[in-house]
Structure 1
């Protein structure tokens, strides 16, 4: 009789263990993005983020991607993350401004001298510093800061442009960005807000004569077919982030956070690698058909930077002057620091 009682207890114990399930259930992080496969952000999600998090966690954590605005786009993705509808999202640093100013420093014109400097300084300290502030203050943590298209470059259909005076009177397409509007105006052109989808036809017809767009996007849109003069001034870096809602991030275990950061690092490295190739291929194609691709001298670049000082003044209060100064000095941009300090922007 005791034998049967013991068997019954064993059956109950086994049933209880089965019903309780595994101690660590698989966690799925839903990701909303404008990126798509075939482009750096989408490919980096597919080739690095997803496999890296699966490998790090041994399959206990996975990313479920929703590409090409199928769920949301940038700011809306951030709002959905706050509502718990998704966990991860990608956005430009500019559109993150709707949640806080912690990443505004990445959008200051001429804050970075080159793609190499942007990556080095971001990876060494700036991204980690600003992302910690974002976690504390803005309801999101940025897990990776990276380029999407590099720097904007000037392209126009009318003539060679080497210094700002050469832009005087030209009708220059701008977005809704107040920084871009001020830059173009300070450089002497006439800012014309104009829809991206109509830009090719606008340049072709002369409704607008120039634009300031990241070079690989100029190539994707085939703007080099109708705009043959290019000026490599850099200036506005196309910063992007992979972010997560702070409440959901804080709810992760320390082990899960470790897996996530390991995967985000792999994603950041991959997206920068793919982005660099995209930029190079786009610029090579443009240069092959351009009448001129001009790279200004340092003296000429100082004139372009001077036109950005007004944008820095307008942005005061959204960035820490000491941090911005450190970024510039680490790149040897002492003269620009002097210009900014003289104007009261730092």
Structure 2
């Protein structure tokens, strides 16, 4: 555990004893942290969830949201959940796979055919099964938020074919799947936290990164990277996660209120996301970014072996892959 994480835990637990998560006149405040900008659809969905939860509970449950990595990176927030120092957080599947290994299946490149296929998987039995997977690691998944498709953006040269990635240092999440994928494209994967990425790009620590259009725009990374290559290699959802320490302290009625509010926020977030993707691409293009639409088959061919390795090494993941691909 990093010094920053430990410091955050100590400070936050001290504050918790004074205010956060406390009961006052039978009112409970649920603490949620995430690393995104306040204009991001996920943050807006959390605020909406708070309004909904307060209404469903007749004011007995409220939500306090801490954005912009105020309480740490995604990984650090998951650690806070496991320790009971934080109630809920939003993380990418690419990060939570380090805590709940079966989640890594959702981070495989070119797994989903389109948006409709993605939502059928996430909102169905497979998605539910994967949400429950985290409980043995003290993490309870509640729902999935749309995080669109991830693509490459670079500083000094455009990515038009997989060969263009050769020799480039590409920032990735702390995800073994993402690291493996970039290596197969010929790049040099470099895990860096989201909060440090802008400076890393400026200083040349990395040559580029990969993410979705709204994050590219809201993080202002388009000021440094002037090429956005829409290869759409992965469709990695965000997951709303509760710590089991927090969850087990709720009554059955409080759990139902929270689950209903979370599901309602999914509908709201997905509508916001569709609009934000389109707006983000328009705004970065206006700011001078070249938007490059690629032949995806050139990229998907490079990563087919990633599926095959599970056939021999992880029969459960391989079975999930086949189930996902079979959904119509």
What TM-score bracket applies, with the shorter chain setting the length? Answer: 0.7 to 0.9
| Partner secondary structure for residue 306 of structure 1 | helix
Contact 1:155 1:228 in 2 (8 A): yes
How many residue pairs align between the two structures?
A: 297
Cα distance, 1:60–1:228 mapped onto 2, change above 3 Å: closer
CA shift at 1:53, angstroms?
0.7
Match of 2:273 in 1: 275
Partner of 2:170: 173
Instruction: Mark the CA change 1:102 to 1:138 in structure 2 (over 3 Å): closer, same or farther.
Output: farther
Return the alpha-carbon distance in structure 1 between the equivalents of residues 133 and 175 of structure 2.
24
Match of 2:255 in 1: 257
Cα distance, 1:62–1:39 mapped onto 2, change above 3 Å: same
Counterparts of 1:158 and 1:258 in 2: how far apart (Å)? 50
Could you tell me how far apart the structure 2 residues matched to 1:159 and 1:306 are?
A: 22
Change (3 A) 1:220 1:90: closer
Residue of structure 1 in register with 2:292 after alignment:
293
Distance across 1 between alignment mates of 2:36 and 2:146: 13
Larger Rg: 1
TM-score of the aligned structures, taking structure 1 as reference length? 0.73
SS of residue in 2 equivalent to 1:255: helix
Structure 1 unaligned regions, length at least 5: 1-23, 332-346
> Residue 302 of structure 1 is aligned with which of 277, 297, 312?
297
In structure 2, the residue matched to 1:183 is: 181
Deviation track 1:285-305 (CA, whole Å, cap 9, x = no partner) reads 334544452242xxxx33312
Question: In the superposition, relative to structure 1, how do residues 321 and 82 fare at CA in structure 2: closer, same or farther (>3 Å)?
Answer: same
Contact 1:140 1:244 in 2 (8 A): yes
User: Which residue in the other structure is 2:133 paired with?
Assistant: 133
Per the TM alignment, residue 36 of structure 1 is displaced from its structure 2 partner at its CA by 4.2
Other structure's SS at 2:129 match: helix
Whole-Å Cα distance in 1 between the matches of residues 317 and 285 of structure 2? 38
Q: Deviations along 1:222-257, whole A, 9 cap, x unmatched?
A: 554565544322122242111112243234322212
Instruction: Give yes or no for the alignment of 1:163 onto 2:158.
Output: no
Shift of 1:199: 4.9
Alpha-carbon distance in 2 for matches of 1:153, 1:95:
17
String of CA shifts for 1:63-105, please: whole Å, max 9, x gaps: 2223333334322222222332222222222222342214222
Map 1:195-344; keep pairs closer than 5 Å.
196-201=197-202, 210-224=208-222, 227-288=225-286, 289-291=288-290, 293-296=292-295, 301-312=296-307, 316-317=313-314, 320-330=317-327
Higher mean C-alpha displacement, 89-98 vs 181-190 = 181-190
How far apart are residue 125 of structure 1 and its match? 3.1
- TM-superposition CA deviations, 1:153-178 (whole Å, max 9, x none): 1234566644324x264524233544
Q: Secondary structure at 2:233's aligned position in 1?
A: coil
When the two structures are superposed, what TM-score results if normalisation uses the length of structure 2?
A: 0.77
Match of 1:151 in 2: 149
Deviation at 1:317, TM superposition (A): 3.2
